[in-house]
Structure 1
Amino acid sequence: MSTRVRIDDNGITAPADKELVLDVVFDGRRIWSFWLIRDGESRGPDSFVEWPPALRRFLDGTVEIGLVEHATGDVLFTGEVALGGKGAQRIKVETEDGKPLGLDKSNRLAQTFDTRSSEHVAPLLDSIEEVLDALRKAGIDAFPAYGTLLGAVRGGKLIGHDSDADIGYVSDHTKPVDVVRESFRLQRRLSEMGYEITRYSGAAFKVDVAEADGSVRGLDVFGGFLTDDEHLVLMGEIRTPFKREWIFPLGTTTLEGRELPAPADTDKFLSATYGPSWRVPDPAYHFETPESTHRRLNGWFRGTRVGRDNWDRVWSKAEREGRADLTPDALTRWAAESLDRPAQVVDIGCGNGAAVHHFAQQGVPALGLDYSPRSFAHAAALAEEQGLPARYERVNLLELRQTLAWAARIARDPGPRLVIGRHFLDTTTVAGREHFWRMAEMLTRDGGRTVVEFVVPSEGAEKVRLLRPLRAQRVRREVKERGADVLDVTEYDTDTSAVLGADAPRTGGRIRVCRMVVEWP
């Protein structure tokens, strides 16, 4: 053991004589793994690694911490450590109902497989077989991919530090547009079979599988194809020279005693995924996708999930901290008091659903749309409990097909409508703004108004994460290009906490916003 290891509230400092993959063990259970030099900050002969943000909320109390070299099991440090200084309780990294948690390779808290028995993982294996069979019925020969395939080939079992399952397939098509069309065909086919689908990109989606105990498990399905110049492309990390015979005809592999399909040459496939050292366990592995591959995959398939992970984290944090306040914001109060009573309110990018809740309490039917369903989960449950005329739907305005389909569906209800877009324009992309205006036009052509609010550039204004200030002139130009009239423009200063309550800095800083009222003649 080393006497130079220091552990405190900030992180871990250890001698950096050579690169090591280290497991951090709390009371005998692995909690986190990292590369000492790659993930650390040089401090003379040592390396300092910060505690991951996801772990910090647990670090108050005492615990026996072990620092163990992953490959050899050599113990670099072990000892009782006090952290936080606010309590003397035993530190436990677990859910509120006592289920053990650890950090996966992406430093996200999860119930990793090393904390679960064979009985606990059996439903996951059932789900893998079920989705593979469903894809086969839809005309695709799929197989376990990424960490799921790695665990099967390397040891016949799920990787202990992993927490989810991945499925991949290689299309017969060679052009990206045909791969995208096929992926959406698969989505429709699986939806017809009764599965709930969440799309990640033009060639990847998640399938929700309901298990016997009522829990829902999501399995990621990554599409791929072989290009005309013999490169394998697989969402979301791979583009490498490859031969078709290394994949087809599919062979088999064994995972936790179950025989599953696999690429014909698993060594070639896993080398393409993780490099030639794929046989060496690495719980802190990071994909290092070449920029050229990243640009290609962005251009071909991505663009419909911009910011989704960030927003999911925002609303998960708000839920975890109990911040479910549905007090209406200034824009909602102004619209309710100053504009004619509409027949329906549609809040695009509704966030926690406060505006929808406020109008529904006044007896106005209201609909909230957002592509992060975690945002409005509390408001939706409350509306059902109280019998309010409010509903919420997961809608992604970065997809034109969703924009048009939902706009057409909503427009069938009698108007006039009030369409609200509070801090949607300044958090989305150019395409998202175009789709917003198209939906607003479709919903208010037969009467009604659209009210938007967005942050504008202002000297000395505090920056708020996820918000990108827009100039009012630019938004006005977009409105006029869509044939609408701008009825009112008002700019005012406000506190940052009033802009994004779930994620705003608590510094009392100021920011400038613009409120704009739009009408289609």
Structure 2
Amino acid sequence: MSDRAVTTARVAAAVRRRVRTTRKRVARRLGGTPAPAPRGRRLPGLVEEFSNGRVAGWVAVDPQAAPVRIALRAGNRDIAAAWAADVLDDRHNWGEVRGFQLRLRDVWSYVSPRDKLTVRVNGKSLPIAGHGMYLVPKRKGRSNLAKLGVLLDSGHVFGQGGRLQLSKKLDTEWQDTVMGLYERVRQVLHRAYGYDVFFVYGTLLGAVREGSVIGHDVDFDCAFVSRHSEGPLAAAEMRDIGLLLVDEGFDVDCRRTALHLHDADDPKVRIDLFHLYFDENDRLAAPFGVAGTNVITRDEWTGMTEIDFCGGRGLVPSVAEKFAEHLYGASWRLPKPGFEWNRERTDRARAGILPFDYTTTVLWENAYAHRPAQAEPTSFFTAVTGRDDLPGTVVDIGSGDGRDTVAFAATGRRVLGLDRSPRGVALAAARADAGTAEFARCDIQDDAELRAALTTFLAATDGPTLFYFRFLVHAITTRAEQTLLHVLGEVSRPGDVVAAEFRTDLDTTLPKAFGNHVRRFVPAAAFDGRLTAAGFDTIDVTDGVGLAPFGKEDPQLHRVLARRR
């Protein structure tokens, strides 16, 4: 028996004991004797989890039974529902055990300790592990059930993430915006690559199952099929498409399995673009993943059908129903507001997942295209230039748009700025006065390229050099860091100085303005050790927050200066 099955059996037994205890308690208060519960009574189901964000459990039914509707009731009305359809093989009970889940994060804003929450099947409540037959909220929310009822009656639903939202079926402003973005993306990819961009994941599910968007959905999904049959080549193409869309004016957030695309002038709404490909066995492969078990082959993929959708036109695969089953499994026809990919995913094409290096490439091109350049130098520049033993020559590695590079040049130093982003190098060169600083594109994870750039510059330099890299270490791969320190250890000269500032592992859980998906979090002592191994002795260290606050973000940073021995 699996650990989960053992846990379920124990919880079920605990619930039965609690029911028996409650019956005896009630009987004592009424002065009577409870009738004994039938031995071997079959448990109809169980709510295994009722947390702040999720309600999940199972019901036991006859194997031939139709899908079972599960309702969450608050007070005297149902506020959300789901279907128990997927068979759970690791639960042991009578009949067939089917799982369900709901995401209801916002429900707590509308309930109080005076309310009772129940999970009901066919009008009867299911036992809730650790609570009995109902759950009582621990604290009072900001609003109440009456106001929740008004919102539900006006077309609001609990979205896929548990937030209360206007049903996407009724949100015509959102529909117009995402369909406009979709049409623009569709035109760009067809013009540049000859690709069809079609509906996928939740958007496809809504189009095929309901003829519209799904009310509880939270985003808009589209995809293309790459011409490549090798995952790494498909991933490289996805990176290039991200860069193309930046050039086309989109605000692009490149994730490892999708591009999140915003209108640069309206960042509140986005669509997600996924890449698929047929692998070497001619099977459709999805780097983001699927929740089904059937296979779609190249021969079965017979083209696209254009349909009316949300006031516009869009594409769905001609094998739309089989594709929906491939993505979501045999129960795809049933709404699942609590669907979670991390729990339901059955397969993914890992070879096609974008490496960290690709996501950061698109990240910085997008940042330099859309974020305004900062005029003032950084606080790290101020701290470093406050020293009286600073070299007169500077190499700014990861110079970006030249914010600190130009500031170093303004102090009369000879400065070289190196960055892998063509857009960043162009912006930096444009903001520098003629002759005050040099800029060059350089990929620091390319040993030969980095070595050539530094050797050429240092050959025309007398005296020590400062190798300056702010917010670089946490933004590059481990391999790129190894290359950087290895090359610096070989081309630097005694007296040269390294000045580095980066996020440490203590920053991992602190709030971020732009998320964590394009960052490493580097233990400070470990990095200093690697710097020492490269031939540099530490001369100054500063750690903490308050060093470089940005809006509401105040990162935990490590600053280190080290001199070449």
Structure-1-length-normalised TM-score: 0.57
After TM superposition, the structure 1 = structure 2 runs for residues 204-219 of structure 1, keeping only pairs within 5 Å, are: 204-209=258-263, 214=266, 217-219=269-271
Q: In the alignment, is the contact (CA less than 8 A) between 1:166 and 1:222 conserved in 2? A: yes
Q: Which residue of 1 aligns with 2:254?
A: 199
Q: In the alignment, is the contact (CA less than 8 A) between 2:199 and 2:222 conserved in 1? A: yes
The one of 200, 203, 207 aligned to 1:148:
203
Match status 1:431 vs 2:452: no
The one of 341, 344, 352 aligned to 1:287:
341
Q: 1:174 to 1:471 in 2, by over 3 A?
A: same
After TM superposition, the structure 1 = structure 2 runs for residues 394-473 of structure 1, keeping only pairs within 5 Å, are: 419-421=468-470, 425=473, 429-434=477-482, 450-453=498-501, 467-469=521-523, 471-472=526-527
AA of the residue aligned to 1:148: T
Q: In the aligned structure 2, how far is the partner of 1:300 from the partner of 1:170?
A: 12
Structure 1 residue 449, shift from structure 2 partner: 5.0
Q: In the aligned structure 2, how far is the partner of 1:29 from the partner of 1:333?
A: 60
Q: In the aligned structure 2, how far is the partner of 1:28 from the partner of 1:440?
A: 68
Q: Which residue of 2 aligns with 1:242?
A: 296
Q: Which residue of 2 aligns with 1:315?
A: none
Q: In the aligned structure 2, how far is the partner of 1:187 from the partner of 1:172?
A: 16
Q: In the aligned structure 2, how far is the partner of 1:342 from the partner of 1:20?
A: 73
Structure 1 residue 271, shift from structure 2 partner: 1.1
Match status 1:226 vs 2:278: yes
AA of the residue aligned to 1:486: F
Q: In the aligned structure 1, how far is the partner of 2:294 from the partner of 2:381?
A: 51
Q: Which residue of 1 aligns with 2:384?
A: 335
1:409-465 per-residue CA deviation (whole Å, 9 max, x = no partner) reads xx9xxx98762445x646864135247659999xx99x98541256999xxx99967
Q: In the alignment, is the contact (CA less than 8 A) between 2:289 and 2:345 conserved in 1? A: no
Q: In the aligned structure 1, how far is the partner of 2:187 from the partner of 2:141?
A: 52
Structure 1 residue 343, shift from structure 2 partner: 9.0
Q: In the aligned structure 2, how far is the partner of 1:73 from the partner of 1:157?
A: 30
After TM superposition, the structure 1 = structure 2 runs for residues 53-132 of structure 1, keeping only pairs within 5 Å, are: 59=109, 84=139, 104-106=159-161, 113-114=167-168, 116-132=170-186
Q: Which residue of 2 aligns with 1:166?
A: 221
Q: In the aligned structure 2, how far is the partner of 1:244 from the partner of 1:25?
A: 49
Q: Which residue of 2 aligns with 1:392?
A: none
C-alpha RMSD over aligned residues: 6.5
Structure 1 residue 199, shift from structure 2 partner: 2.5
AA of the residue aligned to 2:321: D
Q: In the alignment, is the contact (CA less than 8 A) between 1:464 and 1:504 conserved in 2? A: no
Q: In the aligned structure 1, how far is the partner of 2:232 from the partner of 2:267?
A: 35
> Aligned with 1:241: secondary structure?
coil
Match status 1:270 vs 2:328: no
Q: Which residue of 2 aligns with 1:176?
A: 231
Q: Which residue of 1 aligns with 2:40?
A: none
Q: Which residue of 1 aligns with 2:430?
A: none
Structure 1 residue 259, shift from structure 2 partner: 3.8
> Aligned with 1:205: secondary structure?
strand
Q: In the alignment, is the contact (CA less than 8 A) between 2:308 and 2:314 conserved in 1? A: yes
- Which structure has the larger Rg over C-alpha atoms? 2
Gaps of 5+ in 1: 94-99, 312-325, 372-394, 506-510
Q: 1:464 to 1:186 in 2, by over 3 A?
A: closer
Structure 1 residue 263, shift from structure 2 partner: 1.2
Q: In the alignment, is the contact (CA less than 8 A) between 1:112 and 1:163 conserved in 2? A: no
Q: In the aligned structure 2, how far is the partner of 1:136 from the partner of 1:186?
A: 12
AA of the residue aligned to 1:220: D
Q: In the alignment, is the contact (CA less than 8 A) between 2:81 and 2:102 conserved in 1? A: no
Q: 1:113 to 1:125 in 2, by over 3 A?
A: farther
Q: In the aligned structure 2, how far is the partner of 1:25 from the partner of 1:345?
A: 64
Q: In the aligned structure 2, how far is the partner of 1:120 from the partner of 1:36?
A: 31
AA of the residue aligned to 1:131: V
Q: In the aligned structure 2, how far is the partner of 1:250 from the partner of 1:50?
A: 33
AA of the residue aligned to 2:334: V
Q: 1:135 to 1:268 in 2, by over 3 A?
A: same
Q: In the aligned structure 2, how far is the partner of 1:15 from the partner of 1:173?
A: 42
Q: In the alignment, is the contact (CA less than 8 A) between 1:472 and 1:514 conserved in 2? A: no
Structure 1 residue 206, shift from structure 2 partner: 3.1
AA of the residue aligned to 1:178: L
1:149-190 per-residue CA deviation (whole Å, 9 max, x = no partner) reads 000000011111111111111123212243234334434544
Q: In the aligned structure 1, how far is the partner of 2:263 from the partner of 2:142?
A: 41
AA of the residue aligned to 1:337: G
Q: 1:191 to 1:433 in 2, by over 3 A?
A: same
Q: In the alignment, is the contact (CA less than 8 A) between 1:61 and 1:83 conserved in 2? A: no
Q: In the alignment, is the contact (CA less than 8 A) between 1:206 and 1:221 conserved in 2? A: yes
1:208-267 per-residue CA deviation (whole Å, 9 max, x = no partner) reads 3357xx556432211111112132112311496321233222223442354421112112
The one of 137, 154, 162 aligned to 2:191:
137
Q: In the aligned structure 1, how far is the partner of 2:354 from the partner of 2:470?
A: 24
Q: In the alignment, is the contact (CA less than 8 A) between 1:486 and 1:516 conserved in 2? A: no
Q: In the alignment, is the contact (CA less than 8 A) between 2:226 and 2:275 conserved in 1? A: yes
Q: Which residue of 1 aligns with 2:562?
A: 517
Q: In the aligned structure 1, how far is the partner of 2:444 from the partner of 2:124?
A: 50
> Aligned with 2:212: secondary structure?
coil
Q: In the alignment, is the contact (CA less than 8 A) between 1:22 and 1:70 conserved in 2? A: yes
Gaps of 5+ in 2: 1-21, 23-45, 61-67, 92-98, 129-133, 149-154, 364-375, 422-440, 511-519
Match status 1:486 vs 2:536: yes
> Aligned with 1:245: secondary structure?
coil
Q: In the alignment, is the contact (CA less than 8 A) between 2:211 and 2:309 conserved in 1? A: yes
Please identify, of 276-285 and 261-270, the stretch whose mean Cα deviation from structure 2 is larger: 261-270
> Aligned with 1:451: secondary structure?
strand
1:24-55 per-residue CA deviation (whole Å, 9 max, x = no partner) reads 889999689899999xxx9xxxx9x9998x75
Q: In the alignment, is the contact (CA less than 8 A) between 2:547 and 2:557 conserved in 1? A: no
Q: 1:242 to 1:21 in 2, by over 3 A?
A: same
1:81-105 per-residue CA deviation (whole Å, 9 max, x = no partner) reads 8764597889989xxxxxx997643
> Aligned with 1:452: secondary structure?
strand
Please identify, of 68-77 and 282-291, the stretch whose mean Cα deviation from structure 2 is larger: 68-77
Q: In the aligned structure 2, how far is the partner of 1:26 from the partner of 1:364?
A: 70
